[in-house]
Amino acid sequence: MKIAYVSPLHFDGSSYVGGGERYPLNLARGVAADGTCTVELVSYGPQAARRELAPGVTLRVLPGTQPAHPLDVSSWDLVDALRDADLVHVHQVFTRSSEIAVLVARQLHKPICVTDHGGGTTRRLESSGALALADAVVAYSDFGASLVRATIPTHVIKGGVDAAFFTPPTAGTRDRVLFVGRWLPHKGIETLVDALPAGVRLTICGQPYSDDYTARLRAQVDGRGIAAHVEFVSDRDDDGLRELYRRAYAVVLPSMYEDAYGNTYLAPELMGFSLLEGMACGAPAVCSRVGAMPEFVRHGETGFVFDTRDELHDVLQRLAVSPDLVAAIGRAGRASAEAFDLHVAGGRMRALYEELVAARRAA
C-alpha cells in the first residue's frame, strides 16, 4: 500500500523544525515499520528534491509557488506526485495549501485523511471546505478532535514519539530546567523566565522564528539579572537534543491561549511533542493547563500541570531540590511515553488506512 502525506512544511532545517513537522515524519516511520506500506512525504521547496528518510519513507520536495506566506504554498507537480498513491493523508488541513491538496486528491479519486496541527500561526483558517471532501479526520488528542467540526468520522490516535531513540540516561546528573520548541509568543517562554527560581539553570532550545520576541526574551533575562543561568541554544541536532533531555529535571512547556502581544490562539498545543520526548528520556514534564497537554501529563504522577506563574515557580523549586521525586516521576513518565510510541500510533494509523482503502475499492 502506497501512502502519500502532503504538508506545506517538512521537518528540515531548510523548511521548519517543530512538532507539527516532526509528527508526520514520525507517524510515517511507524506506518511503514512492518514493511506492508510505503509513505512518501510530499512537501514544497525552492527546487525539486527526493531522498530516503527511513526504511519505507521518502521525502519528495516539489518546486513550489512563492506565496507571501509559506502555508499558502502549492505546486503544479502535485497531481503527478499523488497519482500513484492508494491513500492521501493531508496535514495542516486548516491552510490554503492543504485545501488545494485535498482538492487534487479528490479529483484523483483517492481516499483522504486530514489532520490539523494547530500551533501559533495567525494564518490558520477558521474553517476548511476540505473537511467535507475527506473520508476521515485524524486527531492526535481529544482536544484536537473537539476543535474539528466535521460530519465525517473523526479518529483520535495519540502519540508518535520515538521512544526507542529518546531514552533515559544510564548515568549522569540532571542539572537544569529545559524548554524545547519554537521561540514564538504563544509558547509562553517569558512565563518560564519569570517563574525561574533563583540559582536554577535554564536552557531554552529551539529556533528563533520571531526576532522581536527573541530580543524581548533576552532583555527579560538581562533585566532579571539571570543571564549567567540562562542559555539560548539553536544549533542542536537530535543527538544533542536527547542529551539535553537527559540532563533536565524538568521539561517545561508554558504555552498560552493569549500571548504577550495580545494575540489569541485556538489551538496552541494539540499534543506537546517536547513533553513526550522529555518523558521518554525520564524527565518530568511540566505544562500549562492549555490545549491537549493535560491529556498527556498526569499531575503529580508523570509531571505537573500549572495554572499560574507562582505554581510554576513552586514546582520548579521543588524539583530542583528533590532528586528522588524527579527519579520517581521520570520512571512513570517513561512508562507513559512508551504507550505513545511511534510504532503504536503507526500501527493504529495503518489499520485505519487499510480500512479506508478497502472501503474505496469496494464502493
CATH topology (fold) of 176-338: Rossmann fold (3.40.50)
Helix (H, G, I), strand (E, B) or coil at 100: helix
> For 73-123, how does the pLDDT look when each residue is reduced to its tens digit (9 = 90+)?
899 999 999 999 999 999 988 888 999 999 999 999 999 999 998 754 544
Q: Out of 2.30.30.60, 3.40.50.720, 3.40.50.2000, 3.40.50.300, which CATH number does the structure's domain 2-160+341-362 have?
A: 3.40.50.2000
Q: What is the DSSP string of 211-261?
A: HHHHHHHHHHHHHHT-GGGEEEE----HHHHHHHHHTEEEEEE---SB-TT
Domain boundaries defined on the chain: 2-160+341-362, 176-338
Tell whether the model's pLDDT for residue 11 goes beyond 60. Answer: no
Assess whether the region 2-160+341-362 and the region 176-338 belong to the same CATH fold: yes
C-alpha cell at 79: 497531481
Angle at 331 between CA 327 and CA 335, to 5 degrees: 165
Closest alpha carbon to 37 in 20, 57, 21: 57
CA distance 166 to 23: 15
| In contact, 118 and 149? CB cutoff 8 Å | no
- Mean local confidence (pLDDT), 47-66: 93
Asked whether the predicted pLDDT for residue 329 surpasses 80, the reply is yes
- Give the total residue count for the chain: 363
Q: Cβ distance 119 to 18 under 8 Å?
A: yes
Residue linked to cell 510554576: 312
> pTM of whole model > 0.85?
yes
Sheet with 230-233, edge to edge strand ranges: 230-233, 202-205, 176-180, 248-253, 285-288, 303-306
Q: Highest mean pLDDT range out of 38-42, 47-51, 115-119?
A: 38-42
pLDDT higher than threshold 80 for residue 325: yes
Does residue 19 have a pLDDT over 70? no
Work out the average pLDDT over 11-20: 53
- In this model, does residue 356 exceed pLDDT 80? yes
Averaged confidence pLDDT in the chain:
93
Do the Cβ atoms of 95 and 8 come closer than 8 Å? yes
**How far is the C-alpha of 24 from the C-alpha of 21, rounded, in Å?**
6
